[in-house]
Amino acid sequence: MDTKYIFVTGGVVSSLGKGIISASLACLLKARGYRVTIQKFDPYINIDPGTLNPYEHGECYVTVDGHEADLDLGHYERFTNVNTTKANNVTTGRIYQSVIDKERRGDYLGKTVQIIPHITDEIKRNIMLLGNTGNFDFIITEIGGTIGDIESLPFIESVRQLRWELGQDSLCIHLTYVPYLHAAKELKTKPTQHSVKLLQEAGVQPDILVLRTEQDIPADMRHKIARFCNVSPDAVVQSIDCSSIYEVPVMMHTQHLDEIVLRKTGIIPKGEPHMEPWMQFLDKMHKATETVNIALVGKYVELQDAYKSINEALFHAATHCDHKLNLTSIHSEKITPENVGELLDGMDGVIVAPGFGQRGVEGKLTALEWCRNNDVPTFGICLGMQCMVIEFARNVLGLKDANSTEMNPSTKDNVIDLMEEQKNLSNLGGTMRLGAYECRLKPGSTAARAYGTTHITERHRHRFEFNNAYRKRFEDAGMKCVGENPSAQLVEVVEIPGKRWWVGTQYHPEYSSTVLNPHPLFNSFIKAAIAFKQEKAKENHSENKN
Ligand code: GLN
């Protein structure tokens, strides 16, 4: 069959969940046996989100091929179990950069370079790239931003042209918002009508409307919207708030979104999607009653999306282990030696987050010292792992000044130091050690047992690294370097073997946890936390008896 192109646009407001709807549709089409990928086109000027701070754009996700990407790509992978790449995330910045490079090379042969056709052609070329590989039956393209934004105009114009060129091999799903006015006790359809009108003015007729709502939208109201917007009544689907994003594929299937997409692209739907493994996950999620209490220590904890992949990976693992995740976010800047016991007491496991810069680092070190002394299962990721190394150096090796040269360039004991290849770089964008690298694990280590293998590949995003000059001192004192990159001898995993669970990874395992494949290291961490919880309960029980 010819590759089908599905465009997903959004109207009225942002944050309606275009990424989740795209991922849910992909999940359903994949469960019907189709080869599917999702790509995100973002209208901002940054070349990629790698230089954006989490206050601007939430977490920066990293693909296996080392692209710093929009966090929606994380949803795509978690819902489809398929890796994304650099081609799955394109920004206005990338488009302009490529057009300007061509102009400088003289490729435009003296022509005036314009938004139409040069920018739109470049957008169209990028939209078609993955489709041209022949590897996919469906390419879902999410257009970032909201219809009416100045910066999304060239993208919408490109969608208009492609819809014209592709005919039945393409369709447009438009997501809008149906607000409920409490004072009037009424759902309102006008914003949807206006946003569809804006889309139509740009020459794009949506085929399917997905209405985000907090209240059930009655059938007659959906028919009214269908009539106003030139959409067939069965193609007006509601996306009502639900308790977990992982319910959305089921909610979409109940309203036949996958079947409507197939029919509208000329395919006769056969049978039902094979959703059993997904349903088993939801079943575990619904049935779990016991909780596991995990603290996440980081400096962006007030932001919902800053540690998205870690939150999801913890949730996958807890669900996999038949537990409810009770996640407490602790602001690392607020942790002091005086309050750390009070903040962390009762936690079954503690995870120390990645990050950049000095802010909040001392709080992370204080938390780690308390966890090590109280033998709480602890997981350090990237900067979290580097903090594990610094804390151990200061408090066990007695190197009081130990630090990362990121925090103190003139520290005497640079136990974490800038990687050699990073030393002469001046550009910050896209220059970290990025993407998937191999790692060999020591047989018998906690990590090797968790993965069930000693040969793994994981994704990275960092400039600093464990300083091998200190390796022997750490190992002699009990912190073992159990994971190493085979070609560069970079330390990728540290552990303290005598502890209940003490693992730090220079890489980011959270990026590769999916619903159908919860990450083994997160599973192992959650299992250790559950065991610790049960141990504490037993102790309390026998204390009460005595
Ligand atoms: N700031 C640290 C580095 O660059 C850690 C980065 C991270 O946590 N992703 O090495």
Q: Does residue 321 carry a catalytic annotation?
A: no
Residue 500 confidence (pLDDT): 97
Give, in degrees to the nearest 5, the angle at Cα 444 between 442 and 445.
Answer: 65
How far is residue 138's CA from residue 3's CA, in Å, rounded to a whole number?
6
**232: pLDDT strictly greater than 80:** yes
Per-residue pLDDT of 170-218, as tens digits, reads 999 999 999 999 999 999 999 999 999 999 999 999 999 999 999 999 9
Instruction: For residue 432, give both structure tokens.
Output: 């970290």
Distance, CA of 49 to CA of 65 (rounded, Å)? 15
Chain mean pLDDT for the chain: 95
The pLDDT score that the predictor gives to residue 513 is 97
For 436-479, write each residue's pLDDT tens digit: 999 999 999 999 999 999 999 999 999 999 999 999 999 999 99
CB 504 within 8 A of CB 371: no
Ligand 1 centre distance from Cα of residue 515 (Å): 26
| Beta-carbon count within 10 A of 272 CB | 12
Q: What integer pLDDT is reported at residue 504 of this predicted model? A: 98
What is the C-alpha to C-alpha distance for residues 152 and 44, in angstroms, rounded to an integer?
9
Active site residue 286: no
335 lines ligand 1 (CB under 6 A): no
| Residue 546 pLDDT grade (very low, low, confident, very high; cuts 50, 70, 90) | low
Ligand 1 atom closest to the CA of 406, numbered from 1: 1
- Measured distance CA(257)–CA(251) in Å, rounded: 9
Q: Pick the catalytic residue: 60, 157, 510, 519?
A: 510
Q: Is 141 helix (H, G, I), strand (E, B) or coil?
A: strand
Q: What CA–CA distances, in Å, run from 237 to 2, 249, 524? A: 26, 12, 40
Percent of the chain with pLDDT over 70: 100
Under the phi-then-psi rule, with left for phi > 0, alpha for psi from -120 to 50, and beta for the rest, what region is 81?
left
CA distance 224 to 209: 12
Q: Is the pLDDT of residue 314 over 80?
A: yes
Residue from 310, 356, 491 whose mutation best tests the ligand 1 pocket (most atoms within 8 A of CB): 356
* pLDDT, position 57: 79
pLDDT band at 426 (very low <50, low <70, confident <90, very high): confident
Tell me what percent of the residues of the chain surpass a pLDDT of 90: 89
Q: Is 160 in the pocket of ligand 1 (CB under 6 A)?
A: no
Closest CA to 8 of 106, 142, 199, 189: 142
The helix or strand, by DSSP H or E, that contains position 38, with its residue range, turns out to be strand 36-42
Does ligand 1 lie within 6 Å of residue 354's CB atom? yes
Helices (H), 233-360: 248-254, 257-264, 276-287, 308-320, 340-344
Catalytic residue among 27, 382, 439, 481: 382
Residues 130-141: tens digit of each pLDDT: 999 999 999 999
Q: For the chain, state the CA radius of gyration.
A: 25
Report pLDDT for 54: 80
- Is residue 349 within 8 A of residue 500, CB to CB? The reply is no
Number of helices (H), then strands (E), belonging to the chain: the values are: 18, 22
